[in-house]
Structure 1
Amino acid sequence: MELLWKSHMKIHAMKLVYALLLVTLMSSKVTECRKGKIISTSFEYSALNCRAHSVSLKDFGGVGDGKTSNTKAFKSAISHLSQNASEGGSQLYVPAGKWLTGSFSLISHFTLYLHKDAVLLASQDINEWPVIKPLPSYGRGRDAAAGRHTSLIFGTNLTDVIVTGDNGTIDGQGSFWWQQFHNKKLKYTRPYLIELMFSDNIQISNLTLLDSPSWNIHPVYSSNIIIKGITIIAPIRSPNTDGINPDSCTNTKIEDCYIVSGDDCVAVKSGWDEYGIKFGWPTKQLVIRRLTCISPYSATIALGSEMSGGIQDVRAEDITAVHTESGIRIKTAVGRGGYVKDIYVKKMTMHTMKWAFWITGNYGSHADKNYNHSALPEIKNIHYRDMVADNVSMAGNLEGISNDPFTGICISNVTITMAAKAKKQPWTCNDIEGITSGVTPKPCDLLPEQGKENIRDCDFPSDYLPIDMLELKQCTYSI
Structure 2
Amino acid sequence: MKHSRILRTIVIASQLIALKGYSQNANDQSWPIASLPAVETPVFKADTFNIVKYGAVNDGTTINTNSINTAIAECSKNGGGVVLIPTGLWVTGPVELKSNVNLHLQSDAVLSFSRDFNQYKLVETNWEGLAAVRNQSPISGTNLVNVAITGKGIIDGNGDAWRMVKKEKLTDSQWKKLLASGGALSEDKKIWYPSEKSLKGSKIKGAGVIAPGKTVSDYEDIKDFLRPNLLVLTKCNKVLLEGVVFQNSPAWNVHPLMCENLTVRDVHVKNPWYAQNGDGIDVESCKNVLIENSVFDVGDDGICIKSGRDEQGRKRGMPTENVLIRNCTVYHAHGGFVVGSEMSGGAKNLFVTDCTFMGTDIGLRFKTTRGRGGIVENVYIRNITMKDIPGEAILFDMYYEAKDPVPLSGEQREAPKVVKLPVTEATPQFKNFYVKNVVCDGAEKAIFVRGLPEMNIHDIYLEDMTLQAKKGVELEEASKISLKNVRVITKETKPVVHILNSNSLSFDKLSFNDNSDLLFSVNGDRSTNINVSNTNTKNLKSLAEFNFGANKKALKIK
Same-fold status (TM-score > 0.5): yes
Q: Secondary structure at the match of 1:134?
A: strand
Equivalence map 1:39-438=2 (5 Å): 46-47=7-8, 48-85=42-79, 89-135=80-126, 138-141=129-132, 147-165=133-151, 167-179=152-164, 182-183=192-193, 184-185=198-199, 186=201, 187-188=222-223, 189-295=226-332, 298-353=334-389, 354-364=391-401, 374=424, 375-418=426-469, 422-423=470-471, 426-433=472-479, 434-438=481-485
* In structure 2, C-alpha distance between the alignment counterparts of 1:136 and 1:98, rounded to whole Å: 30
* In structure 2, C-alpha distance between the alignment counterparts of 1:55 and 1:174, rounded to whole Å: 28
Q: Secondary structure at the match of 2:140?
A: strand
* In structure 1, C-alpha distance between the alignment counterparts of 2:532 and 2:321, rounded to whole Å: 30
Equivalence map 1:457-468=2 (5 Å): none
- Displacement of 1:151 in angstroms is 1.4
- Displacement of 1:139 in angstroms is 3.2
Q: Do the aligned partners of residues 157 and 42 (structure 1) sit closer, same or farther apart at CA in structure 2, a change above 3 Å counting?
A: closer
- Displacement of 1:70 in angstroms is 0.4
Corresponding letter in the other structure for 1:55? F
- Displacement of 1:75 in angstroms is 1.5
Q: Do the aligned partners of residues 241 and 404 (structure 1) sit closer, same or farther apart at CA in structure 2, a change above 3 Å counting?
A: same
* In structure 2, C-alpha distance between the alignment counterparts of 1:121 and 1:42, rounded to whole Å: 28
Q: Secondary structure at the match of 2:265?
A: strand
Q: 1:448: which partner in 2? A: 506
Corresponding letter in the other structure for 2:118? N
Number of residue pairs aligned between Structure 1 and Structure 2: 396
CA deviation profile, 1:442-469 (whole Å, cap 9, x unmatched)? 655554214899999xxxxxxxxxxxxx
Q: Secondary structure at the match of 1:170?
A: strand
Q: Do the aligned partners of residues 277 and 95 (structure 1) sit closer, same or farther apart at CA in structure 2, a change above 3 Å counting?
A: same
Q: Secondary structure at the match of 1:335?
A: coil
CA deviation profile, 1:103-141 (whole Å, cap 9, x unmatched)? 121111111000011000011111211221132993344
* In structure 2, C-alpha distance between the alignment counterparts of 1:81 and 1:451, rounded to whole Å: 61
CA deviation profile, 1:292-326 (whole Å, cap 9, x unmatched)? 01125x10011000000001111000010111111
Corresponding letter in the other structure for 1:173? N
Corresponding letter in the other structure for 1:448? S
Decide which moves more: 392-401 or 154-163: 392-401
Q: Higher Cα Rg: structure 1 or 2?
A: 1
* In structure 2, C-alpha distance between the alignment counterparts of 1:356 and 1:328, rounded to whole Å: 6
Q: Secondary structure at the match of 1:91?
A: strand
Equivalence map 1:4-15=2 (5 Å): none
Q: Do the aligned partners of residues 126 and 383 (structure 1) sit closer, same or farther apart at CA in structure 2, a change above 3 Å counting?
A: same
* In structure 1, C-alpha distance between the alignment counterparts of 2:327 and 2:351, rounded to whole Å: 12
* In structure 2, C-alpha distance between the alignment counterparts of 1:263 and 1:98, rounded to whole Å: 28
Q: Which blocks of at least 5 consecutive residues in structure 1 are unaligned? A: 1-40, 142-146, 367-371, 457-479
* In structure 1, C-alpha distance between the alignment counterparts of 2:76 and 2:131, rounded to whole Å: 32
Q: Do the aligned partners of residues 158 and 454 (structure 1) sit closer, same or farther apart at CA in structure 2, a change above 3 Å counting?
A: farther
CA deviation profile, 1:368-405 (whole Å, cap 9, x unmatched)? xxxx9941012100111001011122101211111100
* In structure 1, C-alpha distance between the alignment counterparts of 2:442 and 2:258, rounded to whole Å: 39
* In structure 2, C-alpha distance between the alignment counterparts of 1:373 and 1:72, rounded to whole Å: 53
Please report the RMSD computed on the Cα atoms of aligned residues, expressed in angstroms.
2.5
* In structure 2, C-alpha distance between the alignment counterparts of 1:92 and 1:317, rounded to whole Å: 34
Q: Which blocks of at least 5 consecutive residues in structure 2 are unaligned? A: 9-41, 165-182, 184-190, 202-221, 404-421, 489-495, 511-530, 535-558
Q: Do the aligned partners of residues 136 and 69 (structure 1) sit closer, same or farther apart at CA in structure 2, a change above 3 Å counting?
A: closer
Corresponding letter in the other structure for 1:405? N
- Displacement of 1:50 in angstroms is 3.2
Decide which moves more: 76-85 or 250-259: 76-85
Corresponding letter in the other structure for 2:68? F
Corresponding letter in the other structure for 1:299? G
* In structure 1, C-alpha distance between the alignment counterparts of 2:160 and 2:3, rounded to whole Å: 34
- Displacement of 1:359 in angstroms is 1.1
Q: 1:464: which partner in 2? A: none
Q: 1:439: which partner in 2? A: 486
Q: Is the contact made by 1:244 and 1:266 (CA closer than 8 Å) also made in structure 2?
A: yes
* In structure 2, C-alpha distance between the alignment counterparts of 1:126 and 1:212, rounded to whole Å: 14
- Displacement of 1:415 in angstroms is 0.4
- Displacement of 1:365 in angstroms is 5.1
* In structure 1, C-alpha distance between the alignment counterparts of 2:437 and 2:324, rounded to whole Å: 17
Q: Do the aligned partners of residues 289 and 182 (structure 1) sit closer, same or farther apart at CA in structure 2, a change above 3 Å counting?
A: farther
Corresponding letter in the other structure for 1:356? A
* In structure 2, C-alpha distance between the alignment counterparts of 1:455 and 1:294, rounded to whole Å: 37
* In structure 1, C-alpha distance between the alignment counterparts of 2:103 and 2:458, rounded to whole Å: 45
Q: Is the contact made by 2:342 and 2:372 (CA closer than 8 Å) also made in structure 1?
A: yes
* In structure 1, C-alpha distance between the alignment counterparts of 2:293 and 2:402, rounded to whole Å: 32
Corresponding letter in the other structure for 1:163? I
TM-score normalised over the length of structure 2: 0.67
Q: Do the aligned partners of residues 403 and 108 (structure 1) sit closer, same or farther apart at CA in structure 2, a change above 3 Å counting?
A: same
Q: Do the aligned partners of residues 275 and 364 (structure 1) sit closer, same or farther apart at CA in structure 2, a change above 3 Å counting?
A: farther
